[in-house]
Structure 1
Amino acid sequence: MIRGPRPFLSPSRSSRTPEEVVDNYLRERLVERDDAAAKLLRCQAPSVAPMDACVAGILDREKRFGFTIDSTWAGRRTSTGSAVQADLTRTVSERLTEHEAFGLADENGRKVCAAATPG
């Protein structure tokens, strides 16, 4: 993976759309696997336990079974300026898609504050 400064984490990009914030957050968590960069895109007191569990599950399966799990997302829809929904897909030899919802707040720029699996 390429490491180094990624322009979308720059403070000058604070006017990003909610969809861009979630897209960047998911890229850091699921593709780059850079928790420090993902934290820059989260609120000060986030409620993202479902996303933490998702990442932990991916890492656990990769370690136990010796394969890489690729993650993609699509269908980002903004319900309001402070909520985005995305379908996360993890691929190994089969495809699994889960629907996720993300809450955002403006804390010196938009940040992800919550992640949930809608029931």
Structure 2
Amino acid sequence: MPAKPTLDKLCWQWAESTDPENVSLENVRTAYRLHLPTCKLGVCKRHCKGNPYCVNCIGEKVWFGKIEDSSWHDIQDPSEERRTPGMFVGLRNLGATCYVNTFLQLWYHNETIRKGEEES
């Protein structure tokens, strides 16, 4: 596979000659490399940055391995998780959940969204 900057240029080459109103699904698939085949597990020596379907060397051994429930359930007694009424709560950070937590807090503080009402 060519170097990423070269691949980026090749994938977007159609944009120089295509009118924006005539962009096709195939153009989009080419630009985002969605036409590339999935890499076979263990074949690549490193993660192919130019292939969105490559999962080699980015932790796939952990993904495809057996998950131990005890590794992410560290609360034995559910009553320890209870909060007092009116207290703010969030997500336990399991990776990138801080981003989700940010949106949940934003939406919670927007009274219209929190109540599920339509704005008039």
TM-score, scaled to structure 1: 0.21
Which protein has greater RCO, CA pairs closer than 8 Å, 6+ apart? 1
TM-score, scaled to structure 2: 0.21
Which one has the bigger helix percentage? Answer: 2
Which one has the bigger strand percentage? Answer: 1
